[in-house]
Chains A and B, each alone.
Chain A
Amino acid sequence: MSDIHAQTAYVRTAMLPQAAPPVRETGAVKWVRENLFSSWLNIILTLASIWFVWTVVSHLFPWFYNSIWRAKSLTECRAIRDATLGPDASAACFAVITDRWKQLLFGFYPSSEYWRPTLSLVLLVVGILPMLFTTLPRKLLWGTLALPFVLFFLLWGGSIWTTVMVAAGFVLGFAAIKILTPIGGAILAAIGAVLIPILFWIYAAGPLAESLHSILPIGLEFVQSKDFGGFMVSTVIGVAGIALSLPLGIVLALGRKSDLFIVNKLSTAFIEIIRGVPLIVWLFTASLLLNYFLPPGTNFDLLLRVIIMVTLFSAAYIAEVVRGGLAALPKGQYEGADSLGLSYWQSMQLIVLPQALKISIPGIVNSFIGLFKDTTLVVFIGILDPIGLTNSIRASTDWNGIYWELYVFIGLMFFIFCFSMGRYSLYLEKKLQREHR
């Protein structure tokens, strides 16, 4: 043993300290090498992207950076630019936004009443919070239920009793269900819940509202729908369409999955016809043709017609999304519900829909985003949504010739709305995820 030891020239007694990895294998350098310059194709792509970003930013940044926010007209804007930056400088004139933002938000709504849409928006946000976040107390949902009536009254105004009567019809229908179910079973209750409010609205609501108004005149100044405009009208159409199209879409989807032959065929035909034709054609139909199909002499509000059309259109799309969710559910779930002896509505309500809707959330939110974006199409039938207002702003001598600033502003507003809706759907998807991946 000792011989061997003596023959060895060198034995390490102390370990070398750990050396740092080469520079090119650590930190930012490694990341850049692996992610941006790993192959020739990647190098070309990276350089092309950087060149593209640079081109865009170098053109747009001065435009934003030099932007002018205080002026009364485009000529004044140009004068300010020429005085401070020189005649060739690129400068945005966002003064048009500061000058006309009220018009862009509210259209031609009377300026003394701006508090009403503003309050409506605040109430809307507060009202839908308990629906969006389940951690809030459930009792707040009662407030959400009253929300449509409050908003209707605030936005259109008129006598408060009209709104109260509309709401009373729903209360009557609800009461009919509660009272008639023990007496005559579900079917009688359903018939009563539909018939009683309709009869009430047709015969009793009008005179009752008038007499109540003569006793106790409470109300707000009445605002016509044609004065609605700007982002307010987009939001009104969008929110009403979303709220109404979801239940209708679910019913249509159930109809299309139903075993009842006639119900199935009717739902299918409705969905396919609505989806097969562009929204713009439906909107023209609503504005040009709808009067032909109503009793002579009736004429109802254009905005209401648009809301109905948008709702039907979006409901057909949502029905297809929900049908996808229903189809994606394993057959065992339907069979399990049947074997427990649940009735059709019980199995739908307790077993099928909660799971199917969860699957279809991304699609449903996408439909909502689509609906909100599609509200811009109303400009073609004469409703002054933000895009329509750009034309009327340009028509004034002050702002003749201004394009980009208005489009950028409107695009940004829509982006914020739609992007946050998309993010919320991602949050909901994560929260409802029950599988462990």
Chain B
Amino acid sequence: MTISIDPPKQSFRLSQLIYDTRYRSITIQVVTLCLVALGIIWLGYNASVNLTALGLEPNFSFLWNRAGYDINQTLIPYNNSDTHARAALIGILNTLLVAGLGCVTATLIGVIAGVLRLSKNWVVAKLMTVYVEGFRNVPLLLWIILIYAVMTEGTPSPRDFREGGTASMWLDSTVAVTNRGLYIPAPVWGPNSGFVVAVFILSIIGALFYRRYARKVLFDTGRLLPMVWPALLIAIIPAVLVFFILGRPIGLSYPELGGFNFAGGLQISNPLIALWVALSLYTGAFIAEIVRAGILAVSKGQSEAAFALGLRPNRTMSLVILPQAMRVIIPPLISQYLNLTKNSSLAIAVGYADVRATLGGITLNQTGRALECMLLIGLFYLAISLLISGVMNIYNNSMKLKER
């Protein structure tokens, strides 16, 4: 039997840095840090030598020079005497536009396809399987080019819409599909239109408050108030009333054929449509698989238990299955949104003016400032991606099953 004694005081030896696990981790980290720092210094030194030799010291002042090129699709006013910075902003907005549109439609397509793929209906399930496998296994670039070719080669030119031409407009002469783009009616905002919009937004908020109230009544008293119809009525009726009381301030301008092209209405350019459709269908196929996996991940016992408690099928779905499936669905869904945003850089294939085409394309070629342009583009995408993954991490932490 020995009593525990303090370990003998050992002087620190250099070999402990390697053989003693207490110090080894520090050694490894310091060595790694030194190697990485050396590598970065080496790259930076080379870059500074090369760029000085070429006379291209990093400098962002070119952004405030006149851009001098036109962009075919702009969300905010722009002309070719504006600066490169504004051209880059146009590109960023165009990227966000196609990404936003794509996320909405891809989610719709994906949810519908994912649910239908689980359907008992053999024909529908097989059709969805073909859709999902077909889009997942063929490069997105090919789909974009293919859909763009259909849009430009397979549609009539505006000339064909003239009297005696081969093509005609759809939906009571309001929509024209041409090889220059899709022409649809555009809203015309009259004098009091802001008032209608404000009323509409307020009534949507009102509808949300009604839902909250109905929920509170349900939880407090157990009384079930109707949810969907009253909320819809509250949201729509005031706006419609105000619209007619003010004498219909919001009108529509229809596309009309004048000369060789359409005038009026809203032109949605073919590059945007091709990119949008291809991104939606492609990402939709991935989302369909995510939705399917999420629904399958909820064990059958959950729905059986809910039925045993006497819950109706729709309440089982909304209170038991969906909350559990959502935990599985949401994180990969968000990373699909991220992928879609990054894939929108394939706009280069169809000539859509996204941020890579303006800042990383024409601006880069005109000014020769490759390093600065690529850096800015990289930072833009990185900012979006870090923002979204930050949101996702917060969500994941709040939804995590608590382990030890």
Chain A contacts to B: CB under 8 angstroms: 34-36, 38, 42, 45-46, 49-50, 52-53, 185, 187, 259-263, 266, 272-273, 275-281, 284-285, 288-289, 291-296, 331, 369, 373-374, 376-377, 379-380, 387, 403-404, 407, 410-411, 414-415, 418-419, 422
Whole-angstrom CA separation of A418 from B137 in the bound complex: 5
Chain A binder among B27-35, B213-221, B307-315? B27-35
- Cβ of B386 within 8 Å of any chain A Cβ, yes or no, is yes
Q: In the complex, given contacts A49-B121, A284-B374, A387-B145, what are 4 additional A-B residue pairs having Cβ atoms less than 8 angstroms apart?
A: A36-B121, A260-B29, A261-B29, A296-B50
B381, A369: Cβ atoms under 8 Å? Answer: no
Residues of B within 8 A of A403 (CB): 149, 153
Q: Cβ of B348 < 8 Å from any Cβ of A?
A: yes
- The answer for the CA separation of A392 and B62 in the assembled complex, in Å, is 36
**A280 near B140 (CB under 8 angstroms)?**
no
* Candidates B18, B29, B149; contact of A404 at CB < 8 Å: B149
User: Across the interface, which residues of B come within 8 angstroms of A293, CB to CB?
Assistant: 43, 46-47, 50
**Chain B residues near A259 (CB-CB < 8 A):** 25
Out of B29, B137, B384, name the residue touching A369 (CB < 8 Å): B137
Chain B nearest CB from A19 CB (Å) reads 28
In the bound complex, do residue B36 and residue A266 qualify as a contact, i.e. CB atoms below 8 Å apart?
yes
List 29 contacting pairs A-B, 8 Å CB cutoff, sorted by A: A35-B120, A36-B122, A46-B121, A52-B127, A185-B18, A187-B18, A259-B25, A262-B30, A266-B32, A266-B33, A272-B382, A272-B386, A277-B378, A280-B356, A281-B381, A292-B51, A293-B43, A293-B46, A293-B47, A295-B46, A296-B49, A331-B403, A373-B140, A411-B142, A414-B139, A415-B138, A418-B137, A422-B136, A422-B137
Q: Verify A289–B123 contact, CB threshold 8 A.
A: no
Cβ contact within 8 Å between B386 and A407:
no
Q: Which residue numbers of B lie inside 8 Å of A, CB to CB?
A: 18-19, 25, 28-30, 32-33, 36, 43, 46-47, 49-51, 53, 116, 119-124, 127, 133-134, 136-142, 145-146, 149, 153, 342-343, 345-346, 348-349, 356, 360, 370-371, 374, 377-378, 381-382, 384-386, 389, 403-404
Given A46-B124, A411-B142, A414-B137 in contact, is the A281-B389 Cβ separation under 8 Å? no
Interchain CB contact under 8 A, B146 and A407: yes
Are A277 and B381 in touch, CB under 8 angstroms? yes
Instruction: Check A50 against B374 for contact (C-beta < 8 Å).
Output: no
Taking a contact as CB atoms closer than 8 A, the residue among A34, A45, A373, A415 that contacts B116 in the complex is A45
Top 5 nearest A-B pairs (CB, nearest first) are: A276-B385, A418-B137, A278-B342, A276-B382, A373-B139
Measured CB to CB, the closest approach of chain B to A345, in angstroms, equals: 12
Are the C-beta atoms of A376 and B50 separated by less than 8 Å? no
CA distance A294 to B47 in the complex (A): 7
How many whole Å from B48's CB to the nearest CB in chain A? 9
Alpha-carbon gap, A398 to B149, bound state (A): 20
Once A45-B119, A46-B123 are accepted as A-B contacts, the answer to whether A291 and B50 lie under 8 Å apart by CB is yes
Nearest neighbor of A287 in chain B, beta-carbon distance: B370
Given the contacts A262-B32, A273-B382, A277-B381, A285 and B138 also touching, CB distance less than 8 Å: no
Determine if A35 and B122 form an interchain contact, defined as CB atoms under 8 angstroms apart: yes
Across the interface, do B53 and A296 meet the contact criterion of CB distance under 8 Å?
yes
Q: Are A294 and B46 in contact (CB under 8 A)?
A: yes
Bound-state Cα–Cα, A195 to B21, Å:
24
Residue of A nearest to B341 (CB): A278
Cα–Cα distance between A53 and B386 once the two chains are bound (Å): 42
In the assembled complex, how far is the CB of residue B270 from the closest CB belonging to chain A, in whole angstroms?
Answer: 15
CA distance A38 to B124 in the complex (A): 13
CB distance from B11 to the nearest CB of A (A): 22
Q: B377 is contacted by which of A52, A281, A377 (Cβ under 8 Å)?
A: A281
| Residue of A whose beta carbon sits closest to that of B382 | A276
Contact B137 A415 (CB under 8 A): yes
Q: Are B139 and A289 in contact (CB under 8 A)?
A: no
A378 to chain B, nearest CB (A): 10
Cα separation A42 to B119 with both chains bound (whole Å): 9
Docked Cα-Cα span, A411 to B149, in Å, equals 14
